[in-house]
Amino acid sequence: MKLPCRLSLAKMMTAGVVIGTTISALSFRNALTNEPGAKINQPNIVVILADDMGYGDIRAYNPESQIPTPNLDKLAVGGLRFTDAHSGSSVCTPTRYGLITGRYSFRSSLKKGVLGGYSPPLIENDRFTIADLLNNAGYHTGIVGKWHLGLSFAIDSVITSTNSPADSTFDWPNGNGINVEKPLLNSPNELGFDYSYIISASLDMPPYVYFDDKKPTEQGIIKLEGSKYPRGVFWREGKASPNFNIHGTLDHFSKKATEFISKSARSEKPFFLYLPLTGPHTPWLPSQRFKGKSKAGIYGDFVAHTDAVVGEVMHTLDSLGITDNTLIIFTSDNGADWKPGDKKLFPAHQANYIFRGQKSDIWEGGHRVPFLASWPGNIKPGRQTSNTICLTDLLATFATITHQKIPASAAQDSFDFSTVLTNNAPVNPTRQSIIHHSINGMFALRKGKWKYIEGKGSGGWSEDNSPTADLQAQLYDLETDPTESKNVIKSFPDIARNLDSELQKQKKSGYTRLGSNK
C-alpha cells in the first residue's frame, strides 16, 4: 500500500497506515516518545541553503578566503564542520529535490539541467517530504526563499507547449497564458509546509513575484527589463509585481525568516524553517553597506551580504533565548559559479578552494559544499569531521532526531548521520558510497577514496585541458589527489570496472538506502 503523504500523524495512526511493515498507532506513538505519555523536547530546526556558495568562500574552510564571513565562522567555531559534504547535484533544482525528498533527483523526471520559473512541479504530490516528516512529528513547518522546484500557476489561456515536468535548462515555459496575479494551484503548502513565502526560482528568472501561502503579495504586473550589466549582475526580462525590488530580495527574505522564527517561538510547538537564500547566485547585488567589503569583487561582497543574513537568523534565535534548543544547518546547493575569468581578475580567491571545477561540473568543485551544524549541548563546538554525507541525508537524520519512522517508499537515498553530530568519538561511515550528478546528466560514483566518473570531461561548463581528456571515463584517488589532477583509470582498470558496475546497479535499483524501495 502506498503511503498517502499528506495525511496528518493522527490520521495515519487512525488508519493504521502500512509503511514497509505495518506500524500500529501504539508503535507510532512510542516512536515519538521516550515512554508512553512522555513528552520529548524536540529541537527547533533551521536549514539555511545558500545559492552557489563555494567551499572556499568561507574563512572557516579556507583561511585565505578574500571574503569576510564572521557569522559563518562563528557558526563553525560553535559547532561541527563537515569537510566531505556534497550536494545531490552540481546545480540548483536537483539538489533541492534531493534535500526535500531524500531521493536523488535523477530518479525523478528531471534528467539534466534545472527548472525555469514557470515550470510545473517536479515533486510528485504523493512524494513524502522532509516537511511531511517534521509535520508528523508535531512541528510547525515553513519555507522562506527560493523554491525552484516548479509550481502550478493559474492559466488564462490554453498553452501549447512541448514542455513536461522534466523541463531542461534550455526548454522552459515562457509564461505566456500564465496568470501570476492569481493564487498558485500547487505550491510547497501541498508538500507538508504549513507556511510558504517564496519566489518561484532563481532571482535571475521571471516571474519576479512573491507568493505568500500561494497568494501573490501584490496585484498588477509590469515587465521587468533584463539587465545589461557586466559579469554576475544578470537577470532575465519578464513579468514582475509592481513593487518587486530585485536589489532588496535577499534582505526581504531575511526579514520574513526572522518574522517566522519570532512568531513560531511563541508557540508550544517546535518549528522547522527551510531558508533557501537567493545569494550569492546571480544577480550579484550586494547592498551598499557590503560594497567593497571583500577582495573578490561584487561576488565576494554578495557572499559577505549572505553571511550577514545568516547572522540575522543567529541573532534572532539568541534574542529569543532559543539558540540552545535549535539545530542550525548551513550549507550550499552546489559549488560556486567561479569561472576562469573570475580567477584571472581575483587570483587570490579560491571560491571552490583547491577543488577542480565549478558549479555544474561532475568534479569536486561542482558538488563538494560547506556544511556547518550547530546545536548547543548536543554538538560539541569546534569539531571537524571527514565523514562523507549528501544533502539527501538530512531527511533520515531528522527522522532519528525527532524519533520518526521513514516510509519504505520514501527517502530512497537518505542516510542517517545523527551519530556524527552528537558523538565526539569517531563513528562508522554514514555512507558506503555516493552518486554525483552534473548539469548535463553525467554520473560519478564515490566509494571511499575512489571516484569513478562515467564519461569524459566535466559534464558541465568547465573545459578539460588535461593530458587524459580524451579517455572515455575517469578514475581519481581523492586521498592522494583531492584536486583530481591525475586520471588513473589505466592503472586501475579493475577498480573502475567494479565501480561502474556498482553505479549501474544503484541507478537501476531505484534506491540505495536499506529498507527502502522504489
Residue 431 · residue 415 · CB < 8 Å: yes
Residue 201 · residue 209 · CB < 8 Å: no
H or E element that contains 304: helix 297-319
In the chain, % of residues over pLDDT 70:
89
Measured in whole angstroms, the distance separating CA 409 from the mean position of its chain's CA atoms is: 21
Residue 159: what pLDDT?
53
CA–CA separation, 509 and 515 (whole Å): 13
Q: Which residues contact 383 (CB under 8 A, 6 or more apart)?
A: 79, 80, 81, 424
| Of residues 37, 214, 35, the one with CA closest to residue 121 | 214
Residues shown for the chain:
518
Residue 326: what pLDDT?
99
Q: Is the pLDDT of residue 161 over 90?
A: no
How do residues 342-374 score in pLDDT, each as one tens digit? 999 999 999 999 999 999 999 999 999 999 999
Residue 207 · residue 191 · CB < 8 Å: no
Considering the chain, what is the average pLDDT of its residues?
91
How do residues 66-91 score in pLDDT, each as one tens digit? 999 999 999 999 999 999 999 999 99
| Least confident segment among 3-7, 230-234, 301-305, 329-333 | 3-7
CA–CA separation, 44 and 325 (whole Å): 6
- Burial (CB < 10 A; 0-12, 13-18, 19+), residue 411, is buried
Q: Is the pLDDT of residue 204 over 60?
A: yes
Residue 34: what pLDDT?
35
Q: Is the dihedral of CA 177, 180, 181, 183 positive or negative?
A: positive
Give this prediction's pTM. 0.91
Would you list the DSSP string of 391-457?
GGGHHHHHHHHTT-PPPTTS-TT----HHHHH-SS----S-S-EEEE-TT--EEEEETTEEEESSSS
Residue 146 · residue 201 · CB < 8 Å: yes
How do residues 437-485 score in pLDDT, each as one tens digit? 999 999 999 999 999 999 999 999 999 999 999 999 999 999 999 999 9
Terminal Cα-to-Cα distance of the chain (whole angstroms): 13
CA–CA separation, 312 and 318 (whole Å): 10
For 464, list phi and psi in degrees, rounded to 5: -100, 105
How do residues 389-439 score in pLDDT, each as one tens digit? 999 999 999 999 999 999 999 999 999 999 999 987 778 899 999 999 999
* Half-sphere CA count of 322, side-chain side, radius 13 A: 25
**Residue 518: which pLDDT band, with cuts at 50, 70 and 90?**
confident
| Of residues 386, 388, 406, 387, the one with CA closest to residue 396 | 406
Given CATH 3.30.590.20, say whether it is the number of domain 44-157+171-432. no
Q: Is the peptide bond before 280 cis (omega within 30 degrees of 0)?
A: yes
**Residue 295: which pLDDT band, with cuts at 50, 70 and 90?**
very high
**Percent helix, strand and coil across the chain, each to the nearest 5:** 25, 15, 55
Residue 158: what pLDDT?
59
Residue 173: what pLDDT?
73
Q: Which residues contact 149 (CB under 8 A, 6 or more apart)?
A: 93, 96, 97, 100, 115, 121, 122, 123
Residue 425: what pLDDT?
77
**Residue 175: which pLDDT band, with cuts at 50, 70 and 90?**
confident
For 265, list phi and psi in degrees, rounded to 5: -65, -20
Amino acid at the residue 123: I
